[in-house]
Amino acid sequence: MKRTFLYLILVSLSGLGNFLFAEDGSRLWLRFSDVTVNEKLFSGVSGRTDVFAASEFAHAWSQMTGDELLTQKHIADNSLIFALAKDKVVRNMRLSTEMKKLGDEGFLIRTITYQNKKLTLVAANTDAGLLYGSFHLLRMIQTNTFSDQIKVVEKPAYDLRILNHWDNLNGTVERGYAGRSIWKWDELPAKLSPRYEAYARANASIGLNATVLNNVNATPDILTTEYIQKIKALASVFRPFNIKVFISINFASPKQLGRLPDADPMRPEVQKWWKEKVKEIYRAIPDFGGFLVKANSEGLPGPMDYGRTHVDGANMIADALKPYGGLLMWRAFVYEPGDDRAKLAYKEFIGFDGKFRDNVIIQVKNGPIDFQPREPFSPLFGAMKRTPVMPELQITQEYLGHSNHLVFLAPMWEEVLKSDTFAFGKGSTVAAVTDGTFVKTKTTAIAGVANIGDDINWTGHHFAQANWYAFGRQAWSHQITSKQIAEEWTSMTFDKSQQTTKSSIVNCQLSIVEILLSSHETCVNYMMPLGLHHIFAWDHHYGPEPWCDIPGARPDWLPKYYHNASKAGIGFDRTDKGSNAVSQYFSPLREQFNNIEACPEKYLLWFHHVPWSHKMKNGRTLWDELCYRYDSGVQQVREYQKLWDKLESEIDSQRFAEVQSRLRIQARDAVWWKNAILLYFQTYSQMPIPFDIERPVHELDDLKKIKLDMKHHN
């Protein structure tokens, strides 16, 4: 393994300047021109002059200071830099033992002393590690945590840290709320948008190293020679940023493109077609990552169409990828009609444990239903002990207010990743059973469904950028806390140049962090507290519609399937006296979830059908607690409005006004949710809304008439 090093020299500079940018959110968290560097500064970079990380650091530095950061080739006569370039300092430090532990993408950052000068050393085994180390160093400068006593050693928790784009080839984005796709397929490969490089830089800055370009509901066209050339053009932009390209594929492609009679994975003609297609792709893109597959799910074709299994289908494609080092990610999001939907993915896949090729990894949504505001973790995590399993999280806010609601998702993901599965005893968390700690695999991975579009601010809502950022940071390290992520993102994202005092900067950041860290629980409270789930409006999943009834629709596509409200109570009985979904969890969780008194109240209505008069831990009845939870969600959003309005003098006018407008929408929506849910369920509970809670301001019949003019974005 070849070692490369990036060196940064600390000296004092003067005459700092700032570049001016429109405050439209387009710079994300990479707002280097807003950084004021006052004390210990860098004057040069030494090491291999062809290292991409050096040019990225130098570019960021020029934005911070207005001055050029000299490279070795510019100051070759400087004896200090010349000595560093010869690696004398590094050899004397004897870093080889530490370097071996870093792997291909880890890095170390350390303050060293040479000739009575303080130097900052970024070291890694590969150019990719140097790139991540350089961005980490920039983050330290941006967040005012840089010092002359640095000792940082990091490597990623997962091998592949992937964004899944649900972008369609016609430019639409399924479950996308930030405009159209950033991929301009009609312009590729001839024209490369500058946004492609900006996208790659943003991903690299938070440690993401792979992207799936298209929707899991894929069309065969993505595999045509025409589109392979377009993918090749994108891969060429991403490659310097250590980002591998993957695509989603349609299982029926041999039939659709190859004009074969079928796509039966056991037929030699089908196997040959896949091998030739994979060969064509790797001939064009030698470092192509592989495929993501959604099969026999929600009407998409798959091996079961031919009486075959998921193993048959996955292994056939994996065999085609194997000679090139390609990976196949096979989604476990399946729910054929029959049993409790929460049980179906486990039932479908648990019997296949150990039967997939070693370059197949099963991609599992964080919960057993579908990216709900809160779910217990999927029981497949830990259950498949001989098969690589990767978590799939949803960054785009399909079930969390789209791009209108401010909801910071890091606490939700932290809750999931740190949940103990008990699969290998205490301490075998979801993170630990997927990162290689307990289940030894060739490749570990984690995916997030992207919230990115061609809106100028990338994500529709300025605060939705924090979720893109948070996914990258948690994919790199599941030990990082939501609070640390919130503080980093806030410090890096909001312009300090308009804030005149240190105290105003601190107060501004504290208010924003406070909003971020409480926002997920707030959203759960005004949407679906206490384990309620999937009571959204039909199709677009934006507002409340617990009464929804679509003739001919599958029961498990409708809210009544999940809430089961009656005069007797509410909730889904998944105990051993109901669907027995609790049996899919390891002890002691199955016993805890099965016992209504021991079950965590945040999952109460997920696992139990509970009488309205059931006494909660705080002494309230279930009905009263529901009322108070919904009301607290409304009141908390109103507090966010107050906190944000106080920051008007501290935030640039454009972003302030745009966030303020979205908070008004969120506050109105929270009232809509509260009124709709309480008035509807009150028809079953026949109990009064507590008198100290704000009264509903709508009639239930009027709320039932609301039909939003929103497209599904297919």
Do 459 and 327 lie in one domain? The reply is yes
Beta partners for 112?
119
Do 397 and 470 lie in one domain? The reply is yes
Buried b (16+ CB within 10 A) or exposed e, 252-264: bbbbbbbebeebb
CATH number of the domain bearing residue 546: 3.90.1330.10
Find the length of the chain.
Answer: 714
Which of 423, 448, 480 is where one domain is finished? 480
DSSP 6: E
What is the total count of domains within the chain? 3
Is 518 domain-assigned? no
Side-chain-facing half-sphere of 111: CA atoms under 13 Å: 12
Do 211 and 262 lie in one domain? The reply is yes
Q: What span, in angstroms and rounded, lies between the C-alpha atoms of 169 and 72?
A: 45
Is 712 domain-assigned? no
Do 423 and 541 lie in one domain? The reply is no
Q: What span, in angstroms and rounded, lies between the C-alpha atoms of 551 and 546?
A: 15
Both tokens of 651, joined, read 């935030």
Do 327 and 467 lie in one domain? The reply is yes
Reading across the β-sheet that carries 41-47, which strands appear in turn? 70-71, 41-47, 4-11, 117-124, 107-114, 151-154
Burial class (CB in 10 A: 0-12, 13-18, 19+), 683: exposed
Q: Give the residue numbers annotated as catalytic, written as ranges.
A: 298, 370, 398
Contact 365, 379 (CB under 8 A): no
For range 475-479, the mean pLDDT: 97
> Could you check whether the bond before residue 588 is cis, i.e. omega within 30 degrees of 0?
yes
In which band, very low, low, confident or very high, does the pLDDT at 500 lie, cut at 50, 70 and 90?
Answer: low
Which of 93, 127, 154 is where one domain is finished? 154
Q: Worst-scoring range by mean pLDDT, 62-71, 183-192, 238-247, 556-565?
A: 62-71
Q: What angle do CA 400, 349, 449 make, to 5 degrees?
A: 30
CATH number of the domain bearing residue 251: 3.20.20.80
Q: What span, in angstroms and rounded, lies between the C-alpha atoms of 688 and 685?
A: 9
Is 448 domain-assigned? yes
Question: pLDDT digits over 373-396, tens only?
Answer: 999 999 999 999 999 999 999 999
DSSP 564: -
For range 505-509, the mean pLDDT: 87
Is 501 domain-assigned? no
Average of per-residue pLDDT values in the chain: 91
Do 419 and 343 lie in one domain? The reply is yes
Neighbours of 607 (CB within 10 A): 27
Taking CA atoms, 460 is separated from 26, 164, 299, 633, in Å, by: 11, 17, 30, 23
In a 3-state reduction of DSSP, which class is residue 261?
A: coil
Both tokens of 393, joined, read 């999280």
Is 16 domain-assigned? yes
Please write down the HEC assignment for all residues of 570-596. ECCCCCCCCCCHHHHCCCCHHHHHHCC
In which band, very low, low, confident or very high, does the pLDDT at 40 lie, cut at 50, 70 and 90?
Answer: very low
Predicted confidence at residue 338, as pLDDT, reads: 84
Q: What span, in angstroms and rounded, lies between the C-alpha atoms of 524 and 626?
A: 11
Beta partners for 363?
331, 390
Residue with tokens 């009575």: 116
Do 347 and 423 lie in one domain? The reply is yes
Which of 154, 170, 194 is where one domain is finished? 154
Q: Indicate whether 15 pLDDT > 70.
A: no
Q: Which residue has the higher pLDDT, 502 or 670?
A: 670
Question: pLDDT digits over 262-318, tens only?
Answer: 999 999 999 999 999 999 999 999 999 999 999 999 999 999 999 999 999 999 999
Question: pLDDT digits over 79-106, tens only?
Answer: 444 445 455 555 556 677 788 899 999 9
Is 425 domain-assigned? yes
The reply to whether the predicted model has a pTM over 0.75 is: yes
Contact 349, 385 (CB under 8 A): no
Neighbours of 617 (CB within 10 A): 8
Side-chain-facing half-sphere of 518: CA atoms under 13 Å: 18
Residue with tokens 């009985």: 573
Do 223 and 187 lie in one domain? The reply is yes
Predicted confidence at residue 17, as pLDDT, reads: 35
**To which H or E segment does residue 227 belong?**
helix 225-238
Neighbours of 450 (CB within 10 A): 30
DSSP calls for 34-64: G----SSEEEEEEE-TT-HHHHHHHHHHHHH
Q: Indicate whether 37 pLDDT > 90.
A: no
For range 315-338, the mean pLDDT: 96
Neighbours of 540 (CB within 10 A): 17
* Residues ≥6 apart with Cβ < 8 Å to 617: 601
Both tokens of 151, joined, read 């000792």
Do 204 and 328 lie in one domain? The reply is yes
Predicted confidence at residue 648, as pLDDT, reads: 95
Predicted confidence at residue 51, as pLDDT, reads: 77
Q: What span, in angstroms and rounded, lies between the C-alpha atoms of 338 and 347?
A: 11
Q: What span, in angstroms and rounded, lies between the C-alpha atoms of 158 and 105?
A: 10
Do 51 and 192 lie in one domain? The reply is no
Question: pLDDT digits over 177-230, tens only?
Answer: 999 999 999 999 999 999 999 999 999 999 999 999 999 999 999 999 999 999
CATH number of the domain bearing residue 43: 3.30.379.10
Question: pLDDT digits over 525-542, tens only?
Answer: 999 999 999 999 999 999
Residue (of 184, 289, 185) closest to 245 by Cα position: 289
Do 396 and 373 lie in one domain? The reply is yes
Do 138 and 178 lie in one domain? The reply is no
In a 3-state reduction of DSSP, which class is residue 360?
A: strand
Q: What span, in angstroms and rounded, lies between the C-alpha atoms of 393 and 162?
A: 10
Is 585 domain-assigned? no
Q: What span, in angstroms and rounded, lies between the C-alpha atoms of 645 and 248?
A: 43
Range of the domain at 687: 525-572+609-704
For range 123-146, the mean pLDDT: 93
Both tokens of 249, joined, read 């594929």
Neighbours of 570 (CB within 10 A): 26
Q: What percentage of the chain exceeds 70 in pLDDT? A: 89
Predicted confidence at residue 112, as pLDDT, reads: 82
Predicted confidence at residue 70, as pLDDT, reads: 60
Is 602 domain-assigned? no
Which stretches of 115-209 are assigned E, i.e. beta strand? Answer: 117-124, 151-154, 160-164
- Of all residues in the chain, what percent are helix, strand and coil, respectively (each to 5)? 40, 15, 45
Q: What angle do CA 302, 303, 305 make, to 5 degrees?
A: 75
Q: Indicate whether 241 pLDDT > 80.
A: yes
Contact 131, 204 (CB under 8 A): yes
